[in-house]
Amino acid sequence: MKNLFLTIVLFASQISAQVQDSNPFTIACRIAERIMSETTFELTTAEQKSALDLQVIDFSKAFCRSNEKYAYAFSTLSVKKNIKLKFGISYSAPIKVWLNGKLIFQNNKQAKFYFKEAAYSIFKFQDTVTFSLNKGLNRLVIFSSLHGEPVIFLREITGAEEKPVSEFLPVFKEPASTWQWCFTGSESIYKKGANSYPPNSSLKRIYNCDESLKDSIIFIKPAVLKKLAENPGRTFKKESFADWSYPNGALMMTMLNLWKATGDEKYHKYVEKYCAFINDNIPLFRKQYFKDHDLRVSFYRIFRKSMLDDVGAASLPFAELSMQDHIHNYDSLLTAMSDFILKGQSRLADGTLCRPEPEEWTIWADDLFMSVPLLVRMGVITGKNIYFNEATKQIINFNKYLFDPGKKLYKHGWFSRAKQRSKVFWGRANGWVVWAETEALKFFPAEDRRCKEIKNIFKEHLEGILTCQDESGMWHQVLDDSSSFEETSCSAMFIAGLSYGIRNGIIDKGYSDNVLKAWSALQKKISRDGVVKDICCGTGIGMNAEFYNLRERYDNDLRGLGAVINAGIEVSALKKFLEK
């Protein structure tokens, strides 16, 4: 009898836990609690490392205490076969470049430094140089005037997401050097009064790594810089919850939504701390980005500011706090970010936002969420109609280019050169569109004529989403391919969008069963301790379904956490709506 009683108690507790688990708020809060416990708002120090396969040759650091007027930097460049490669080069002072004893580039004029990371793995330099490289090691010497703060950026030009085939190596094994470049002053390698460029005999000493040079060579030690401290116990280790990024922006926005829905102040205070932490440390990291050339410094996207990923969604919690009261003064930050959307981002001739990747010019479905939610909030904050007009234009134009009327789904991209859409209906790309349109409808006045057009676009898209829902309740990585894996982030985005559409009379109330079935399925991807599983990693535009099907999936990838919390909030609201 005792064993029977314990069995009944255990069974009852399991049933009770399941009932508790079915509460959307309980699940959303559980995820939020885990996120907060894994967030560290602290700084630490670390040696600076090279980034982006970019060679940063900073003469000012090597000769800041020297009376030299010009100097030389040298390194070795390794390739596996004889090959010609193009390199981008940017500089701020007169320079000359020798490769294996041959002068291959020079500019004797003072220059205005220009370098831009235009998109992922796409860079813009002042000049392009062709290197004719021999198999094995090649000697590279660069002369620079020391006027001002001379710095040179050098990188092999590659396609998007391609790695360089060349490799820079330190000239000397000893002393050990983290950086690949050594420096020497002009007077160290030839007699005073000689020509301002070294004679061949002097260059040969460098090319041959003459041991006698070591006494006059400067090895720059890596700088020790500040960076975000990491919680070693966090579930997703690739990125920090304290950084400035588009997935964190979406996540923090949904944490504020959770605060509004539950009334629990801890979620609001958490987001306030997040925004204050970033705002307070911007000056420090700005210096490291621009002065120390640490192009992957914490918050680097604020300073890079060259794509919508850097500005729009990342700004959302700052905009939300600014809308609530006048205590949070993030006006200058929000203006800079929204101005980039209005004036800085590349566009097609008709004003549609686009990117230079994977080719010029490509429309990405993702970018509707990277722009529209901030635009409509800026419309509320400033009272200026220009933001609502811009949001409307992007929603209509993205629909024109990316929406397939047969499937009623969005392709991931549109290529302007080929004037055609990409091949695949990627789940999360459609999710970003649904979420962006939902955010727009929240802020457009119902009587606004633009609101009706957005509703029609939104409704038709939701109809397409419903047709590809799996029997399990989830949606697939490739929406029209049931053999692709069930993906968490897009399923959460669709749950929230469908719930919003039902509650606001945009789609029929009868679709509530689809939403509740989807939520029931989504719960199985969430552990009891708040870990969300099967979130697709960040993804470029692929040319076929296989590209998407082979993408990695991670636990608690930031790109899905906000969506899952938002889904829980929306399902809870839907249940209350159905009870009326």
**In one letter, which amino acid is 312?**
G
Under the banding of pLDDT at 50, 70 and 90, the label for residue 173 is low
Structure confidence at residue 148 as a pLDDT band (50, 70, 90):
confident
At 407 the three-state DSSP class reads coil
- The DSSP letter of residue 538 is P
* pLDDT score of 527: 96
Among the listed ranges 9-23, 267-281, 332-346, 408-422, which one has the minimum average pLDDT value?
9-23
Encoding tokens for residue 344? 């800085």
Model confidence at 219, in pLDDT bands (50, 70, 90)? confident
Take residue 466 and report the two structure tokens written for it: 């419903």
> What is the residue whose two structure tokens read 């549109």?
414
Rounded mean pLDDT of 531-542? 97
Section 282-302 average pLDDT: 97
Q: Which residue has the tokens 């092999």?
A: 156
The confidence band for 205, taking pLDDT boundaries of 50, 70 and 90, is low
| Band of pLDDT at residue 6, cut at 50, 70 and 90 | very low
AA identity, residue 316: L
Question: Could you tell me where the DSSP H helices lie in 325-384?
Answer: 331-339, 372-382
Nearest C-alpha neighbor of 319 from the set 369, 267, 375, 279: 375
Q: Tell me the CATH number for domain 228-579.
A: 1.50.10.10
> Where residue 17 falls among pLDDT bands split at 50, 70, 90?
very low
Q: List the alpha helices (DSSP H) in 403-448.
A: 427-443
pLDDT at 178 over 60: no
Which of 31-45, 60-74, 75-89, 279-293 is predicted with the least confidence, judged by mean pLDDT?
60-74
List, for residues 311-339, the tens digit of each pLDDT value.
Answer: 999 999 999 999 987 677 899 999 999 99
> pLDDT at position 326, please?
66
Global pTM value:
0.92
The predicted model gives 50-63 an average pLDDT of: 90
Please report the DSSP string for 278-301 in residue order: HHHHHHHHHHHHHTS--TT-TTHH
pLDDT for position 536:
98
Q: Is 174 exposed, middle or buried (0-12, 13-18, 19+ CB in 10 A)?
A: exposed
Lowest mean pLDDT among 27-41, 263-277, 314-328, 333-347: 314-328
Q: Which CATH class is domain 55-218?
A: mainly beta
The pLDDT of residue 121 is: 86
User: Which residue, chain included where needed, has tokens 């140089």?
Assistant: 129
Q: Give the rounded percent of residues in the chain with a pLDDT score beyond 90.
A: 78
What pLDDT does residue 194 have?
Answer: 37
Of 35-39, 61-65, 226-230, 359-363, the poorest mean pLDDT is in 61-65
Q: How many CB atoms lie within 10 A of CB 472?
A: 15
Q: For residue range 371-388, list pLDDT tens digits in order.
A: 999 999 999 999 999 999
Q: Report the pLDDT value the prediction gives residue 113, as an integer from 0 to 100.
A: 95
Query: How many other C-beta atoms are found inside a 10 Å radius of the C-beta of residue 129?
Result: 16
Find tokens 């929204």 and name the residue: 338
Q: Is the pLDDT of residue 189 over 90?
A: no
**213 band by pLDDT with thresholds 50, 70 and 90:** low
Per-residue pLDDT tens over the stretch 230-253? 999 999 999 999 999 999 999 999
> What digits encode the pLDDT tens for the residues 403-461?
999 999 999 999 999 999 999 999 999 999 999 999 999 998 878 888 999 999 999 99
CA 35 to chain centre: 19
* Token code pair at residue 514: 């689809």
Higher pLDDT, 83 or 208: 83
Residue 305 has pLDDT above 50, yes or no: yes
Q: Which long-range contacts (CB under 8 A, 24 or more apart) does 48-51 make?
A: 48/222, 48/223, 48/224, 48/225, 48/292, 48/294, 49/178, 49/222, 50/179, 50/180, 51/294, 51/295, 51/296
Q: Are 256 and 326 a contacting pair, CB within 8 Å?
A: no
Q: Out of 61-70, 507-516, 563-572, which region has the weakest mean confidence (pLDDT)?
A: 61-70
The pLDDT of residue 210 is: 59
* CATH 1.50.10.10 domain range(s) in the chain: 228-579
Confidence of residue 182 (pLDDT cuts 50, 70, 90): confident
pLDDT above 60 (res 469): yes
Predicted pLDDT of residue 456: 97
The percentage of residues in the chain with a pLDDT greater than 70, rounded to a whole number, is: 89
pLDDT at 15: 38
Number of Cβ within a 10 Å radius of residue 390: 21
Q: Mean pLDDT, to the nearest integer, of 254-260?
A: 98
Mapped onto helix, strand or coil, the DSSP state of residue 127 is: strand
pLDDT of residue 195: 41
171 vs 441, more confident: 441
Residue intervals of the chain classified under CATH 2.60.120 are: 55-218
